[in-house]
Structure formats: C-alpha cells, structure tokens
Structure 1
Amino acid sequence: MRADPNDTPPYPRRSARAPAQRLREAIAALAGPAGEILDHAESSWASITFSGTRHRLNLRFSGMEGIEAGESFIEALPEHEFAIPRQLVADASIESVEHRLLPHPRLDVSVELLLLEEN
C-alpha cells in the first residue's frame, strides 16, 4: 500500500538550517549591525580525506562607525571560533579590503571560508 503524499506526518517537521545559512548568520553576528552581507557564493570542495564547501562572502561597512566595525571584523575573523553543527571551519581568511571615502565612507571586505564536514 502506498502512502498518501497529502498525509502529514504525526510529528511536526523541524526545519533544518543549512550550514551555509548558519555560516551567514555567524558572519552577520561577527560583523555586527554595521556590516551588510552583499552576496555569498558556495562551492563544493574535497580532498582525498575531507569534503566540505568553500564560501566567499562580500560585506560592506558604511559610515565612519561602520569602517571601525569593519576593521574590528577584519582583525577578529581569522581567529574566530565558529559553532556550526557538524561543520568545522578549517580556514577563514580576508581576501580583499577596499576603503572608499567618497561619495560616502565605506569599507568593502571579501572573505573566504572553508567548511569541512564532521562525521
């Protein structure tokens, strides 16, 4: 007998957040309210012994206070301890930094992170 696809399970389904979403949330928390995530790209990564994903995020910090927050973010990121279930952040690096003063002060930061799946 086939199960009716319209039947709902007897328990509520938990919506699991993907590691990429958890990473964005962690980066947003580290950047603080002054940081805005402009975009996020994810690609598969594997070696002989490990598999995971590589993530590239571009952030913008606007205004003089934002620039200060961005500089703190740049300093903190490489040593930050991320807590993403079943994932290990093996590498977190600043790829590029661009300061602009005109027409408005801002700091654009590109970061790259390597997440490895923990078994």
Structure 2
Amino acid sequence: MLSALFELGQGQAELLRHAERNWASATFAGTRHNVTLAFIGAEAIAAGEALIEALPDHEFAIPGQLVADASVISVDQVALPQPQMALELELLLLEDG
C-alpha cells in the first residue's frame, strides 16, 4: 500500500508516519491505515496536490487487498524556510478473497 501511495505521489513523498489497526464489520475484515506524507519543495508539493486530486477515485492494485476507502484527513503547508506540505491520509483495506 505504501509503495502504491509513493507511486501516486510521483516519487516525491517522504513517509513521516504510518499506523495500522485491525478493522472488521459483520461481513468484512481488513485494516485501517493512517499515513502522513511530506512533500518538500515546489515540485514535490505539485506532486502532493496531484495525489490529493487522484486519491479518492484511484484504483489501487494491491494483491489480496481491496481499498474500500481512501481519503485526505488533513493538509498542512508552510512556505518558510522552504515550501513543504504534509498530508494525513486514511485508507481502509479489506481482505480480498
């Protein structure tokens, strides 16, 4: 899942944090992931903005997993000392099979 997010971020993302917890409903089981990515510099921020736009409808190809939900929880940007953006994402992965 992380490599798919890095690809969606055009190789410009740095992983700041990843937390995973089990998730289940009456009919499905899986994991909920909370991921924070940093994009440093103007080019990286442009890649991060593209990730924000693409994430909700992106078709992930993760063997044995189905991404049931993917959303941007927060976006923090600073301009100085250099432009950077941090994205907090949440993804729900269900066991496929």
Smaller-chain TM-score bracket: over 0.9
Task: Tell me the residue number matched to 1:3.
Answer: none
Flag as ranges the 4+ runs of structure 1 deviating above 6 A. Answer: none
Say whether residues 1:57 and 2:39 are aligned partners: no
Identical residues among aligned pairs (%): 55
Task: Tell me the residue number matched to 2:71.
Answer: 93
Deviations 1:58-113 (A, max 9, x none): 00011111111111110011111001111110000000001100111001000000
Coordinate RMSD, CA, aligned: 0.8
For the residues of structure 2 that align with 1:27 and 1:33, how far apart are their CA atoms? 9
- Where structure 2 has 5 or more consecutive residues not aligned to the other structure, the ranges are none
One-letter amino acid of the counterpart of residue 56, structure 2: P
For the residues of structure 1 that align with 2:69 and 2:11, how far apart are their CA atoms? 24
Deviations 1:17-56 (A, max 9, x none): xxxxxx0111111112211111111000000110000001
More strand by share: 2
Aligned residues: 97
One-letter amino acid of the counterpart of residue 10, structure 2: G
**TM-score, length basis structure 1:** 0.79
For the residues of structure 2 that align with 1:25 and 1:64, how far apart are their CA atoms? 22
For the residues of structure 1 that align with 2:64 and 2:11, how far apart are their CA atoms? 27
Task: Tell me the residue number matched to 2:55.
Answer: 77
Secondary structure in 1 matching 2:42: helix
